Structure 1
């Protein structure tokens, strides 16, 4: 048994070593290790122990541990996807995801045809390029006609597709309540499982000086320690950016700066239809939001570069099956913009002053979490699973509310879906939202989102039980400025059976 264990560790080490060699940071890392190997700190007669000590004293030991930490996290995510492709019985759900992706891209292509432009874009006119360059730091003053442009899709469009999902009929279906997602056989956690997963959130551990503790953890520069500290939801504002960068592995290196410069140059040189969609989205959402309108200029910068970043889809590695009989549709370099996409980036404006630092941490957050909220998939933290989790928690722990929604013939998921798909961005005040996203990063879980949705409905239960129309329900839930998520979540996780 020990031999098998050793062999497994050996093969894992080889695989991780090969993956590190393919990373952008490998060249600089290799040079740093070479310098240490050649230094007097390393004794050739006892190279193993002296090299380990030298790596530790020079801080490279922590850097390498952090690299391995991020590689393992991303590998676990990819291994799930590979397994699901080969053995997941919910093939209909995966096909729905493919069809949704094609529908979105087809809509974008149709818009290109209407506007008589190509999806690949065209060289930007010199006058336009000059204006864009001059106004790069104040793009709110960049004049552009957006009257004929509309979002490719909105959250309600995705919800309609989710509600129309039809799986294979099972005999036991007749025994189950007719929920919107009850026929989908994805496993989701019960409240006991959630309590165990979020146990650190409800542990009563008193810290005399939280700010000092954060400073000590940051000095160690150890990503897992930073992640653990985020689980408390008490990160001081001045340290949040550093913690998020460590957990997401998004510290800006020279190659990142070079990548940003290339993306910016692409914005200057090429006029894409997604540019108009980005401008339109920022104006429809962040510009009209009292909390985010002041960040309009930086959001244009970040989202325009985001729209050019071909690495995003490569990292996400979406599994789109090519069927020879099905027409294929091209897509933009990056993600197809939808109504509200910039709200995934907007909260980062409260954390980072530098657009470059903001961009790479936002990009890492989007790749690890946000893209799951806008695609149809079988992942346990995908939007379908989160909807199913919300539905089961509501029926199990708020049966009166559930029955009330049924009696007035309103689907509860329609009320909260915008919260789920945006991870509450634009709905919670920024200071509370950032605490929520601290918890997402700390526990590496989006399941906190439907749990919070249930808590809010419970908190407003008395008012909700007295109204019978969608408009009045939305009015009851429109203002979340008084919501304090930490005490509510802790109460919910502590008291529910």
Structure 2
């Protein structure tokens, strides 16, 4: 699902959109079926349905599943920049980069075409019938052939790519004017980078003070205690069945024994009966395909050839 941008004042528009998206999922039908089962119970009072059904759905864990689904959809909604934001604070256009990219692609294409013209090698053409028949007869030998590539030259060299990079100039940059940093390199692209305190704040979860599963438990320092604490915390996260909590837990690493369960919570996937049946039947299906290929080798090869030619 692609990211969707919304205006700052249109937060209320997101909820109906998420409701429409959830109505297309299997969770909606499962939630509706669970509500019908609760409503049909003998001890359920019809006059209290609007209170009894949500309460029992919460007790049976359906409310948490709904929260996780809404959270996963909310991650694709991002606020648009404020319309009154000054232009200098907006992301700058990269039209000059795209022009340089287009020029470089044309140069590569021209070099490739000239090399193919010199060697009389067409870039794309349909094989004639004689070559198709010859290819079918030598189908099993194609993987062992080693064609001579000595006549092919590189499409471009490292110096060509460096020369192209040095020609890119920012349209708003005056290299002759006063600058706070000396122009030591060949590439003059002023890129706004974060300061060291900003980087420390953004990547504070990677600080040596924050212990990581897979790093601290395999070092020389005894990590049995740390590993046990992470396993204990991971089981609590799995039991909570909360997508946001599982995602935060995974930032510090997952123990190998809990990795599958943690990622199932993050991605919101579940192994149902249909998936289990397919997994059980896969080995027998694989053997069936192998036997079919052995007994119908010629027709299988023709089928593969048709797939490549089409």
TM-score computed with the length of structure 2 as normaliser: 0.51
Question: In 1, distance between residues paired with 2:76 and 2:269?
Answer: 14
Question: In 1, distance between residues paired with 2:268 and 2:186?
Answer: 38
SS in 1 for 2:182: coil
Question: In 2, distance between residues paired with 1:43 and 1:100?
Answer: 73
**Residue number in structure 2 paired with 1:13:** 15
Q: How do 1:211-250 and structure 2 match up within 5 A? A: 211-233=231-253, 235-248=254-267
**Residue number in structure 1 paired with 2:26:** 28
**Residue number in structure 2 paired with 1:95:** 98
Q: How do 1:171-182 and structure 2 match up within 5 A? A: 171=174, 174-175=178-179, 176-178=181-183, 179=185
**Residue number in structure 1 paired with 2:307:** 270
Indicate how the Cα distance of structure 1 residues 252 and 35 shifts in structure 2: closer, same or farther if over 3 A, else same: closer
Structure 1 contact 96–165 (Cα < 8 Å) conserved: no
Unaligned runs of 5+ in 1: 1-6, 119-126, 132-141, 262-266, 274-497
Question: In 1, distance between residues paired with 2:267 and 2:155?
Answer: 29
Question: In 2, distance between residues paired with 1:105 and 1:15?
Answer: 45
Structure 2 contact 169–188 (Cα < 8 Å) conserved: no
Q: Cα distance, 1:69 vs. partner? A: 2.3
Q: Cα distance, 1:49 vs. partner? A: 4.3
Indicate how the Cα distance of structure 1 residues 9 and 88 shifts in structure 2: closer, same or farther if over 3 A, else same: closer
Structure 1 contact 36–54 (Cα < 8 Å) conserved: no
Give 1 or 2 for the bigger CA radius of gyration. 2
Question: In 2, distance between residues paired with 1:32 and 1:219?
Answer: 21
Indicate how the Cα distance of structure 1 residues 27 and 250 shifts in structure 2: closer, same or farther if over 3 A, else same: closer
Are residues 1:194 and 2:199 paired? yes
SS in 2 for 1:167: coil
Are residues 1:209 and 2:229 paired? yes
**Residue number in structure 2 paired with 1:464:** none
**Residue number in structure 2 paired with 1:72:** 74
Residue in structure 1 matching 2:59, options 49, 57, 60? 57
Q: Cα distance, 1:211 vs. partner? A: 1.4
Question: In 1, distance between residues paired with 2:143 and 2:91?
Answer: 49
SS in 2 for 1:114: coil
Question: In 1, distance between residues paired with 2:66 and 2:34?
Answer: 14
Q: Cα distance, 1:195 vs. partner? A: 1.5
Q: Cα distance, 1:9 vs. partner? A: 4.3
Q: How do 1:43-442 and structure 2 match up within 5 A? A: 45-76=47-78, 88-92=91-95, 95=98, 99=102, 114=123, 116=125, 143=143, 147=147, 165-171=168-174, 174-175=178-179, 176-178=181-183, 179=185, 183-185=189-191, 187-202=192-207, 203-204=209-210, 209-233=229-253, 235-248=254-267, 270-271=307-308
Indicate how the Cα distance of structure 1 residues 180 and 189 shifts in structure 2: closer, same or farther if over 3 A, else same: farther
Indicate how the Cα distance of structure 1 residues 237 and 95 shifts in structure 2: closer, same or farther if over 3 A, else same: same
SS in 2 for 1:188: coil
Question: In 2, distance between residues paired with 1:100 and 1:58?
Answer: 61
Structure 1 contact 55–61 (Cα < 8 Å) conserved: yes
Q: Cα distance, 1:33 vs. partner? A: 1.6
SS in 1 for 2:189: coil
- What are the superposed Cα offsets for residues 128-185 of structure 1, whole Å, 9 maximum, x if unpaired? 9x99xxxxxxxxxx947685899x999x89x857665432142476513335666244
- What are the superposed Cα offsets for residues 364-416 of structure 1, whole Å, 9 maximum, x if unpaired? xxxxxxxxxxxxxxxxxxxxxxxxxxxxxxxxxxxxxxxxxxxxxxxxxxxxx
